[in-house]
Chains A and B, each alone.
Chain A
Amino acid sequence: MEVTLELSRLRTSYGPFDFGPVDLTVDDEVLAVLGPSGSGKTTLLSLIAGITSPDSGTIRLGGRELAGVPLEDRNVGMVFQEGALFPHMTARENVAYAATTSGRVDELAALLELTDVLDRKPPTLSGGERQRVALARTLATDPDVLLLDEPLSSLDAPIRKRLRDELHGLFESLDIPVLCVTHDQRTAMALGDRIAIVRDGNLEQIGSPSTVLTRPTSRFVARFTGTENLLEGTVTDRTADGARVRFGDVQLQTTASAVSQSAVTACIHPARVELETSHVADGDRAANVVTGTVARWLNEGSEYRIDIAVEAGPFTLTATVRPPTFERLGLADGTEIRVLIPPESIHLIPTVEQSA
């Protein structure tokens, strides 16, 4: 049984906020809905769940029209932010409230490792336990679609990572569409089969995590998914290998073909920028090479973030490197450095009036 969620020309508005029109189809997959706060992520879930009414458009779930159907009749499972557990009921009573048999409660408790906390009331549960109870309660209704609103945002980092892994496994086992709203790029990348980027009530881009990460269609998506190097340049040449783009006095070779505009923005993810010392040139021969000096660096724990003032250009490049690389290169403020940018790591988008 394959259930598909189809949104068509879905629109709503309240106050000055306009949502939509949104067209979206979600099959048996996990769609991570990523966007900044106030972008309309929760509105999207509210529309599907039936908490908010659309002004126009349709919401079809397995061919069944949901718009206009009261939320209790939709069979849409929603895990609310912070869980929305009933505070006067124990964890067991919360799950049993939705379950049709007590066997189902025990089954879900075992699945989500809740057996030991079933007799406790929500205020005494940890954030992670609360989220798992909320998830168990929602799954107890055997919903046709699962919606999660920021399931991990209220958790501490170690618990967040653990629950993220658990959710990933759980979602795999469900054969229903899952929409998971988050403002955290890592959560979206880890959980989503596809990622939908939401901005100002509209879908900005939708695609696989790697597509969204490496082939953003706008500056906004690039920024939001961590591409900090956004350089505005001009296409000077179009060869069989790809376009050459000029940024000030720097020319970079790209593999981008079919570039019709001449004004482009190059997106280069910091993780794709390689560094080597200025006197040892053993890097990728095909890569674009520019020289610069370290303007600033920051230890972010699992990686170092380095801002490099490019010698020939009026711009700064940001690179992230692993600690061993940082130490091997002996980087410090003012260190002269060679920057390698592989052509295939440069993604071009037309420069339009978009502001990010």
Chain B
Amino acid sequence: MPDHSSRTRSTALRLDWLTVALILGGVLLVYYLAPMVSLFLSVPMGEVVSRMGEPSVVNAASTSMLSASITTVLATVFGLPLAYWLARAETAMTNVVLAIVVLPLILPPTVGGVVLLTVFGPTAVVGGAAVAAGVPLTRSLPGVVLAQTFVASPFVVVTAKAAFEAVDPTLEYASRSLGKGRWTTARRVTLPLAGPGVLAGMTLVFARAMGEFGATMMMAYYPRTMPVQIWVSFISLGLDNAYPVAILLVVIAVVALAVLNTIASNPWK
């Protein structure tokens, strides 16, 4: 750094440009963090832990874990082929398809619930048939999964697409020229190389599914997922009663973030 003694004073007074940016941005940072801290300070931890064992909390947690896991598997099984196609196909169609994939991300979740009900509702064709077959698609675990998949699965498609695009197609050609078919190539070359990105997408799907409220409320008020349970506790018994489940969800979100920053590749980094 050049030493201009005449300018030292003004440099000391003048705030560094990046510091100014951080101070302004810090307002937002405090706004994110303060309520989180406040939540953990609002309730005696011992009491919260004891209420975690209540049947309503346990039921909501298990419903959410189960449905979000099924959603993640479904989204991955169907999402990876779509992501691969989007990454490799050389047609203008990919833009249209990508727009369709992104639509549920932008659509308000309650609207997602409305459109799903027009297909899977008890009076709709598919929903009616399912009821007749004894597998109602609303007010049931399948209903929860349908709602979560609609809202959360685009995350894995979009993230895995980027991960597949980062895999040099030449490596796939190389694998195939070595006598390995497309399936072996996908399993041993493409997927391992895209792995961190795919895992990131799966984590995002899981986290989003855990938090899904709007579409789930419309499709399946019962069995209650954790976000629905928070709503019910808040409405019927007051804010205090929403704390235990809310704290659980915060913990799950933090774990998901930890996964993103360690074994998976954080798509936003």
The answer to whether B192 touches A71, judged by C-beta atoms less than 8 angstroms apart, is no
Interface string of B178-205 (1 = CB under 8 A from A): 1111100100110011000000000000
The answer to whether B193 touches A87, judged by C-beta atoms less than 8 angstroms apart, is yes
The answer to whether A49 touches B177, judged by C-beta atoms less than 8 angstroms apart, is yes
A70, A84, A98, A138 pick with most chain B CB within 10 angstroms: A84
Chain A 50-109 interface residues, beta-carbon cutoff 8 Å to B: 50-51, 70-78, 80, 84, 86-88, 97-98
A137 CB within 8 Å of chain B: yes
CB distance from B108 to the nearest CB of A (A): 41
Question: Given the complex, which residues of B lie within 8 Å of A98, measured CB to CB?
Answer: 178-179
Chain A 139-191 interface residues, beta-carbon cutoff 8 Å to B: 140-141
Bound-state CA distance A344–B188 (Å) is 59
CB distance from B155 to the nearest CB of A (A): 24
The answer to whether A80 touches B179, judged by C-beta atoms less than 8 angstroms apart, is no
Bound-state CA distance A72–B172 (Å) is 11
Given contacts A72-B179, A86-B175, A87-B193, contact A80 B188 (CB under 8 A): no
List the count of A-B residue pairs having beta carbons below 8 Å apart.
56
B39 CB within 8 Å of chain A: no
Chain A 4-36 interface residues, beta-carbon cutoff 8 Å to B: none
The answer to whether B193 touches A138, judged by C-beta atoms less than 8 angstroms apart, is no
Question: Given the complex, which residues of B lie within 8 Å of A75, measured CB to CB?
Answer: 179
B3 CB within 8 Å of chain A: no
The answer to whether B178 touches A138, judged by C-beta atoms less than 8 angstroms apart, is yes
Given contacts A84-B171, A86-B171, contact A77 B192 (CB under 8 A): no
Question: Given the complex, which residues of A lie within 8 Å of B188, measured CB to CB?
Answer: 97
Given contacts A86-B189, A87-B193, A97-B188, contact A71 B176 (CB under 8 A): yes
B258 CB within 8 Å of chain A: no
The answer to whether B177 touches A76, judged by C-beta atoms less than 8 angstroms apart, is yes
The answer to whether A71 touches B177, judged by C-beta atoms less than 8 angstroms apart, is yes
CB distance from B200 to the nearest CB of A (A): 17
Question: Given the complex, which residues of B lie within 8 Å of A51, measured CB to CB?
Answer: 173, 177
Nearest A-chain residue to B182, judged by Cβ = A72
The answer to whether A72 touches B193, judged by C-beta atoms less than 8 angstroms apart, is no
Question: Given the complex, which residues of A lie within 8 Å of B189, measured CB to CB?
Answer: 86
Bound-state CA distance A84–B174 (Å) is 7
Interface size class of A (residues with CB under 8 A): 20 to 34
Bound-state CA distance A78–B177 (Å) is 7
Interface string of B145-182 (1 = CB under 8 A from A): 00000000000000000000000101101111111111
| Partner pick for B173 among A49, A77, A88, A138, CB 8 A cutoff | A49
Given contacts A86-B189, A88-B193, A97-B188, contact A80 B170 (CB under 8 A): yes
B175, B176, B192, B193 pick with most chain A CB within 10 angstroms: B176
Bound-state CA distance A137–B177 (Å) is 11
Nearest A-chain residue to B167, judged by Cβ = A87
Question: Given the complex, which residues of A lie within 8 Å of B185, measured CB to CB?
Answer: 72
Question: Given the complex, which residues of B lie within 8 Å of A74, measured CB to CB?
Answer: 177
B171, B173, B180 pick with most chain A CB within 10 angstroms: B173
Question: Given the complex, which residues of B lie within 8 Å of A77, measured CB to CB?
Answer: 177
Question: Given the complex, which residues of B lie within 8 Å of A140, measured CB to CB?
Answer: 178
Bound-state CA distance A82–B89 (Å) is 25
Question: Given the complex, which residues of B lie within 8 Å of A49, measured CB to CB?
Answer: 173, 177
Question: Given the complex, which residues of A lie within 8 Å of B175, measured CB to CB?
Answer: 86, 97
Nearest B-chain residue to A98, judged by Cβ = B178
Question: Given the complex, which residues of B lie within 8 Å of A97, measured CB to CB?
Answer: 175, 178, 180, 188
Bound-state CA distance A87–B189 (Å) is 9
CB distance from B192 to the nearest CB of A (A): 5
Nearest A-chain residue to B169, judged by Cβ = A51
| Partner pick for B181 among A72, A86, A137, CB 8 A cutoff | A72
Bound-state CA distance A286–B146 (Å) is 93
The answer to whether B170 touches A84, judged by C-beta atoms less than 8 angstroms apart, is yes
Question: Given the complex, which residues of B lie within 8 Å of A73, measured CB to CB?
Answer: 179
Bound-state CA distance A75–B178 (Å) is 8
Nearest A-chain residue to B193, judged by Cβ = A88
Interface string of A246-282 (1 = CB under 8 A from B): 0000000000000000000000000000000000000
Nearest B-chain residue to A100, judged by Cβ = B179
CB distance from B187 to the nearest CB of A (A): 12
Question: Given the complex, which residues of A lie within 8 Å of B174, measured CB to CB?
Answer: 78, 80, 84, 86
Question: Given the complex, which residues of A lie within 8 Å of B181, measured CB to CB?
Answer: 70, 72
7 closest residue pairs by CB, A with B? A98-B178, A84-B174, A72-B176, A78-B177, A84-B170, A71-B176, A51-B173
Q: List 17 A-B contacts (CB under 8 A).
A: A51-B173, A70-B176, A71-B177, A72-B181, A78-B174, A86-B171, A86-B174, A86-B189, A87-B171, A88-B193, A98-B178, A98-B179, A137-B178, A138-B177, A138-B178, A141-B178, A141-B179
Give chain A's interface residues, CB within 8 Å of chain B: 49-51, 70-78, 80, 84, 86-88, 97-98, 137-138, 140-141
Give chain B's interface residues, CB within 8 Å of chain A: 168, 170-171, 173-182, 185, 188-189, 192-193
> A71-B173, A72-B181, A87-B193 provided; 16 other pairs, C-beta below 8 A?
A50-B176, A51-B173, A70-B176, A71-B176, A71-B177, A72-B176, A72-B178, A72-B180, A74-B177, A78-B173, A78-B174, A80-B173, A86-B175, A87-B171, A97-B178, A140-B178
